[in-house]
Amino acid sequence: MIEARTATAGERHMVTGDYAAAWGAMVSRPQVIAAYPITPQTMIIEHLAEFLAAGKLDAEMMRVESEHSAMSAVVAAEATGVRTYTATSSQGLALMHEPLFISPPMHLPIVMSVVNRTVASPLGIWVEHNDTMPQRDTGWMQVYVEDAQEALDMVLQAYRVAENPSVELPMMIGMDAFLVSHTIESVDLISQEAADKFLPPFKPVHAYLDPERPLVVGAAAPPEYIQEVRWETDLRMRRAAEFLEETDREFGRTFGRTYGGAFETYRLEDADAALMTLGTVTSTAREVVDRLRGQGERVGLIKLRSFRPFPADRLQDATAHLKAFGVYDRAVSYGVGGPSYIEARNALYDTTTMPILGFLAGLGGRDVTPQDVELMFKKTLGAVGRGRRASGVHWIGTRGVSP
């Protein structure tokens, strides 16, 4: 860590996911950063403060008094025409809920890393996606990453997608508490020069505050006007899917790494049954796929990265040949099931009658073991040929509850 702090950029170093995210933010050259500490996001802003103190980062850093203010500060700064960055977790994101709604209709492409953590109650600091998932309808794009490298790379990609004039929507990047944020991995710390080639300086297109060209940003509006704003924001979210794919390909051409855009597939082509995961469980699931394949089971995997925009069309194509589909979630919409399970069923309703099963596991940060994932695959395989009636939500690894 100490070594990496002073290391020259563009080399491989052993760093945490938080360090990687902070590095990604630094080489994206944000002009204003505002943040408030919360475990396990704290190291992101500590590292940014270190970069600033060391003269490696040149930005206005606002050490604000709450997350509500952190988000409001970057909204105001972005509305003044500069690139901004913030990071949070859990309760912090919940406190940001109100200002989250502001930037999408205002065309403000803010980027934020969110270390996914349990939202109380009960209070817990370990991974769960019940902080980001409920922000689904705020108009923010949401991408989930699997490891430290992706946490870094996605910051650069996020600005490219968010600032695209056809999109101009903010993006949050979800990274699992501790499993990504605090796990030390070998990471390619992209150099400033390379980052600059991939990510040009931010040029605000229209909505920015400047006494030279007076403009109202964020007025009140009567019903005669608001519905069109909603429609237009919805349109940009739909458009974003395409730019997400394009940006990932472009990133691959520059850095030699791609992530599959909205989702990545693994041994899916000839699979009968597949599981969709998001976050770090994906790494475990890949191993399980290999093991089951070794036993002759035709199983595959989809690593969902983008939850908003939700890649419904691509998912329809990718799953057309499947006979059963399982969807894993690390958050629950009480009384219904996992949020991405709900999305997947909605997306696939028109194109398939195969059973779609929902799996809930690892809530509150509980480990999701290879056995847990294997059970998900087995249940999905067991539903083959049984039609939609075999669908349903299963709690895996819950004390006193048979899955």
49 contacts other proteins (rule: CB under 8 A): no
Q: What is the dihedral of CA 381, 383, 386, 387, to 10 degrees?
A: -100
Range in contact with other proteins (rule: CB under 8 A) among 66-74, 110-118, 163-171, 342-350 = 66-74
Whose structure tokens read 């041994």? Answer: 267
59 binds other proteins, rule: CB under 8 A: yes
Nearer of residues 105 and 326 to other proteins, judged by Cβ: 105
Closest to 153 measured CA to CA, from 341, 20, 333: 20
8 Å CB contact between 71 and 99: yes
45 touches other proteins (CB under 8 A): no
Contact 204, 81 (CB under 8 A): yes
Among 67, 78, 163, 168, binds other proteins (CB under 8 A): 78
Specify the residue, 46 or 60, whose C-beta has the smaller distance to other proteins: 60
Name the token pair of 316: 């329809």
Which of the stretches 29-37, 134-142, 290-298, 331-339 binds other proteins when contact is defined by CB under 8 A? 29-37
Stretch that binds other proteins, among 62-70, 257-265, 290-298, 321-329 (CB under 8 A): 62-70
User: Is 232 among the residues that bind other proteins (CB under 8 A)?
Assistant: no
Cβ(395)–Cβ(339) under 8 Å?
A: no
User: Considering only residues 15, 44, 75, 373, which one is a binding residue for other proteins as defined by CB under 8 A?
Assistant: 75
110, 170 Cβ separation under 8 angstroms: yes
E strand map for 169-212:
171-176, 185-188
79 touches other proteins (CB under 8 A): yes
CA-based nearest residue to 138, from 92, 105, 176 = 105
Least separation in angstroms between residue 228's CB and other proteins is 11
27, 32, 37, 40 alpha-carbon torsion, rounded to 10°? -30
Site for other proteins contains 347 (CB under 8 A): no
Tell me how far apart the alpha carbons of residues 118 and 390 are, in angstroms, rounded to a whole number.
30
* Single residue of 25, 27, 35, 77 touching other proteins by CB under 8 A: 77
Residue with tokens 């976050």: 279
CB 48 to other proteins: min, Å: 15
In angstroms, give the least distance from the CB of 161 to other proteins.
Answer: 22
Q: Which residues bind other proteins (CB under 8 A)?
A: 31-32, 34, 59-60, 62-66, 68-69, 72-82, 98-99, 102, 209-211, 213-222, 225
